[in-house]
Amino acid sequence: MKYHHTYSLMDVMMADPIKPMPDHKREHQIKKMKDGLLALERAAYPTIHDWEIVTDALNMMETLIEMGWAQDPDGLIEDAVKALAIAGQRSITKNVPIRLDGVGIKTVRGLLEDYETALKEMPERTMMHCHRKTEKRVQDILAGRCETHDVQVTK
């Protein structure tokens, strides 16, 4: 089955190169990632979908960092990715709800706040390009074309 990107190349080309994403698009993404993190923190049974939403947002933040559009001088993205990978793997191997530890929650929350700031301030075209690039990288990982730093959670 062929994968369809959230944004087409035409969407990216037609996106505003100067102004941020319109409020309704931006707020939708922000709500989803906040709800996902809240579920990982407090829901009785957080879902794999909650984990994927948070992971996707962190993957997009990682893309922004790799492309030089954001900075991570303390290397927090690696800590957040590791925390999510540990939570996912623990859930699979021990058959327990997906949970982040306290340090993981703090790190992930901080990076999600940074991503929210990027959504509010960076041009729509930049954010759509980031989204497409991230989706391509995730599809490559799922197809077994991993880079050395990529993390996969498996059964």
User: How much of the chain, in percent, has pLDDT values that exceed 90?
Assistant: 75
Structure tokens at 20: 């941020």
Residue 147 lies in a domain: no
Within a domain: residue 10? no
Coil/strand/helix, residue 104:
helix
Task: Kindly indicate the confidence band of residue 155, based on its pLDDT and cuts at 50, 70 and 90.
Answer: low
The string of pLDDT tens digits covering residues 55-71 is 999 999 999 999 999 99
> How many domains, the chain?
1
> Residue 98 contacts by C-beta under 8 Å, 6 or more apart in sequence?
40, 46, 47, 48, 50, 51, 87, 88, 90, 91
Nearest to 152 by CA among 98, 105, 82: 82
Report how far residue 71's alpha carbon sits from residue 125's, in angstroms, rounded to the nearest whole number.
19
Locus of tokens 């001088």: 73
In a domain? residue 126: yes
Reported as a single tens digit per residue, the pLDDT across 76-135 is: 999 999 999 999 999 999 999 999 999 999 999 999 999 999 999 999 999 999 999 998
Whole-model pTM?
0.85
User: CB-based contacts of 71: which residues, under 8 Å, 6+ apart?
Assistant: 65
Burial class (CB in 10 A: 0-12, 13-18, 19+), 31: exposed
Q: What percent of the chain has pLDDT over 70?
A: 92
- Is the residue at 8 inside a domain? no
pLDDT (0 to 100) of residue 152: 57
DSSP state of 21: P
- Domain extent at residue 33: 21-140
In a domain, 9, yes or no: no
Residue 154 domain flag: no
Radius of gyration of the chain (CA): 15
- Is 132 among the domain residues? yes
4 belongs to a structural domain: no
